[in-house]
Structure 1
Amino acid sequence: MWAGQLRREERTDRRGRELVVPDGFSRAGSRTSLPLKPRQRNARVRLEVLFRLFLKDRMAPGKKCLFLDEFPLLTTKRVFWKGVLEELLWFIKGSTNANELSCKGVKIWDANGSRDFLDSLGFSAREEGDLGPVYGFQWRHFGAEYKDMDSDYSGQGVDQLQKVINTIKTNPDDRRIILCAWNPKDLPLMALPPCHALCQFYVVNGELSCQLYQRSGDMGLGVPFNIASYALLTYMIAHITGLKPGDFVHTLGDAHIYLNHVDPLKTQLQREPRPFPKLKILRKVETIDDFKAEDFQLEGYHPHPTIRMEMAV
C-alpha cells in the first residue's frame, strides 16, 4: 500500500521510541512535504528493507495471500509458532490475564502486564498481569463493564466471535461479518490499545477469506506474528463452518520499523525464502472453544534461524 513512496520520515511514538513512518503521511495521517534531513534520507534504506523483505517472503503488506496448501508463516527467520497458537487460544478464551500465557512459556505480554508498566499507566490497584479489556475481552464480551481479570463475564456483552461464526453458517453472504477489538470506551482501561483492530470475513465458492485492518504494525516483530495469527483464526473458523480457507488480505495503517530493528532486518533480507509449511487440524472440532494446542500440527516448517529483536514497550 506504500508502493512508490520511497522517501521516509523518522518520528517517535508516544513513548519516545524512534521509528520510521511513510513519507507523505504524518503520525495523524495528514499529508506533509517537509524537506528530508540527513537522518531522514538514511531512512530510505529502511523502507527498501521493509518492502524487499516482505515481497521476498511473499507476504507484502496490503497484498493478498492465497492459502492453497500452505500456511503463511515466514521462513526467512523462525517465527514463534507456539506463541502464535497459544496467544490466539488465549484471545478466544476471552482472557486478559498475561500470567496464563507466561506460565506456558509465552512471555510476549509479560512486559505490558508488569507491575512497573501497570503503575506507569495509573493501574496501581490492578494485580500484576491484568491487562484490562484487551483483545479477547472485546472479542467475547464487547460492551460489558470490565472489572478485573478474574471476574466471570459469562453472558455479558456481545460475543462477537460466536456471532461471526453463526453468521457464516446461517447467512454467509452477509457483508457485516466483522470482529472488532477497537472499543473507544474501553481504551483508557487497556494496558495496550489494539494494534490489529478489525477483521472482516467473506465467503465465496465454499471458501472463507479474511481481511485484517491493522492500525499500527511493527514490521520487525509484530507483523509476521499477526499474519500467522489471523491466518490461523481463518483456518479454525473455516474448519468448524465446513469451509476451506480462501484468501488473507492484510492492510496496515502505520507500518513502521524501529531503529534497533534495522540491522536485524537487513540480515533477514539476505536470506533466501523457503517453502511455506502446511497446517493440519488433527481432529474434527465442532465449536471454537473446543480447540486445544495439541489439535494443530505444523508440517514442513524449516525456516532460517531466529533473529533476535527487542520488543518495544
Structure 2
Amino acid sequence: MTRSTESRIDHPEWQYLDLMRQIWTQGDERMDRTGVGTRAVFGAQLRFDLSQGRVPLLSTKRVYWKTATREFLWFLTGDTNIRSLCAQGVEIWTDWPLDRYRRETGEAISRADFSARIVADAAFAAQWGDLGPVYGKQWVDWPVYEPAGQDGAGGNLYRRRAQGVNQVAELVDGLRRNPGSRRHIVEGWNVAELDAMALPPCHKTYQFHVAGNRLSCVLYQRSCDVVLGLPFNLWGAALFVHMLAQQCDLEPGELVWMGGDTHLYLNHADLIEAQLQREPSGDPRLVIARRPESIFDYAIEDFAVEGYHPQGHLAAPVAV
C-alpha cells in the first residue's frame, strides 16, 4: 500500500477534495446571482469526527481559523455592523457594504480606505456598515411581535418585543435539561426579514443531537461556495459543537455537513486545479483554554490549534 493510498483511507479531508473534484468535472454549469458563473451539484454530505479536539481544518490550503473564530464570536453578540470586525482586521463582510457604498455614492474608494473609515468614524459606520438582520441577529434576537390593541378600523396592532428569542441561550438550556429532545435547533432563515439582509444566510440550520454523552451537529447549508465559504463553515460548525459540549458537560461527537446548491465559481479555476493536486496531511486539534460562565463569554484568546501545518495559501476573489 502506498503512502498516498493510506492517506486516502485515513484522512477525512479527502471528502472535501472529492466533492470539489466531482463539482468541477461533473457539475452543472450555469450563470448565478453574481454574474460570475458556477459549476454546481445539488445535495452533498460530509462527515467529520470531532472527538478528542479534532477539527475539520483543511491542510491542502491555509484556513485562517482565527479570522473564522472572530466572525463566529461576533455572531454570538448579535451585532450586525462590520465596525467591530474591521477593527479586528476581519474583512469577511466588508465587500457587501463597500459595494453598496460605491453604487450609491459613485465614489471609487478602496476597500482598505473604506474599512479604515468604518473603524474611525462611528457615524459613517452606522450609515454604511450595517448588514441588516443577518446570522447573529437571528441567532440571539429573533424578533417577536406582541398584540398592541386595535387601530381605528378594528384591525389588530402589534409591537416588537424589546428582546427577541435568544436561540443559542435556549439551545444551551435545552441540551442541559432535556438532551434527548429533537428540537435542538438554531435557525437563521427568517423569511420575513430576508429582504433586509445584505446576504440571506447560507449556513442556515444547525441541529444538535445527544447520544450517550456525545454531542453531534447537522449543519444544513442552502448555498455553499466550496472554495471560500465551506472551509470557514466547517470550522465554525465544529467550533460551535466544541463550545456547546464544554458548556453542557458533553463530549464532542460528529459534524455532519449537508449542502443544497453546492458550487464552485468559474473564476476560481486556478485555485481549484492547484488544490486538487495536493494531498491532505496532519491531524489538527482544538484546545480551549478555559470554560467561561456562558457560551457568550468566550474570547479569541481562549482558542488554540495544535498540529496544524497547512500547505501554502491559495487566494481567490469573492463573488459579491
Which TM class, normalised by the smaller chain length? Answer: 0.7 to 0.9
Higher share in helix: 2
Q: Confirm whether residue 91 of structure 1 aligns to residue 71 of structure 2.
A: no
2: CA distance between counterparts of 1:82 and 1:7? 33
Could you list the per-position Cα deviations for residues 47-74 of structure 1 after superposition, in whole angstroms to 9, with x for gaps in the alignment?
A: xxxxxxxxxxxxxx50221112321111
Q: Confirm whether residue 253 of structure 1 aligns to residue 260 of structure 2.
A: yes
3-state secondary structure, aligned to 1:75: coil
Q: For the Cα contact (< 8 Å) 1:74–1:276, is it kept in 2?
A: no
1:225 aligned residue? 232
Q: Which of 42, 45, 65 is the aligned partner of 1:62?
A: 45
Q: Confirm whether residue 266 of structure 1 aligns to residue 309 of structure 2.
A: no
CA shift, 1:107, in A, is 0.5
Count of residues paired in the alignment:
267
CA shift, 1:114, in A, is 2.0
The 1:307/1:154 distance shift into structure 2, 3 A limit, reads: farther
Could you list the per-position Cα deviations for residues 126-176 of structure 1 after superposition, in whole angstroms to 9, with x for gaps in the alignment?
A: 61110000000000011258xxxxxxx995111001111100000000001
2:63 aligned residue? 79
2: CA distance between counterparts of 1:174 and 1:162? 15
1:138 aligned residue? 138
Matches for 1:118-197 after TM superposition, within 5 Å: 127-144=127-144, 156-197=163-204
Taking structure 1 as the reference length, the TM-score comes to 0.80
Q: Which amino acid aligns with 2:282?
A: P
CA shift, 1:20, in A, is 1.1
1:13 aligned residue? 32
2:118 aligned residue? none
CA shift, 1:13, in A, is 1.3
Structure 1: runs of 5+ lacking an equivalent: 30-60, 146-152
Q: Which amino acid aligns with 1:68?
A: S
Q: Confirm whether residue 109 of structure 1 aligns to residue 93 of structure 2.
A: yes
2: CA distance between counterparts of 1:84 and 1:4? 26
CA shift, 1:115, in A, is 6.0
2: CA distance between counterparts of 1:13 and 1:252? 17
The 1:179/1:268 distance shift into structure 2, 3 A limit, reads: same
2:12 aligned residue? none
The 1:4/1:267 distance shift into structure 2, 3 A limit, reads: closer
CA shift, 1:203, in A, is 0.6
Give the alignment's Cα RMSD to 1 decimal.
2.5
Bigger Rg over Cα: 2
The 1:7/1:295 distance shift into structure 2, 3 A limit, reads: closer
1:53 aligned residue? none
CA shift, 1:17, in A, is 2.0
2: CA distance between counterparts of 1:238 and 1:268? 33
3-state secondary structure, aligned to 1:198: strand
Q: Which amino acid aligns with 2:204?
A: A
3-state secondary structure, aligned to 1:224: helix
Q: Which amino acid aligns with 2:74?
A: W
3-state secondary structure, aligned to 2:94: coil
Q: For the Cα contact (< 8 Å) 2:81–2:125, is it kept in 1?
A: no
Structure 2: runs of 5+ lacking an equivalent: 1-14, 105-123, 146-159
Taking structure 2 as the reference length, the TM-score comes to 0.78
Identical-residue share of aligned pairs (%)? 43
2: CA distance between counterparts of 1:4 and 1:109? 29
Between 1 and 2, higher relative CO (CA 8 Å, sep ≥ 6) is seen in 2
Q: For the Cα contact (< 8 Å) 2:144–2:161, is it kept in 1?
A: no
The 1:264/1:10 distance shift into structure 2, 3 A limit, reads: same
2: CA distance between counterparts of 1:255 and 1:306? 22
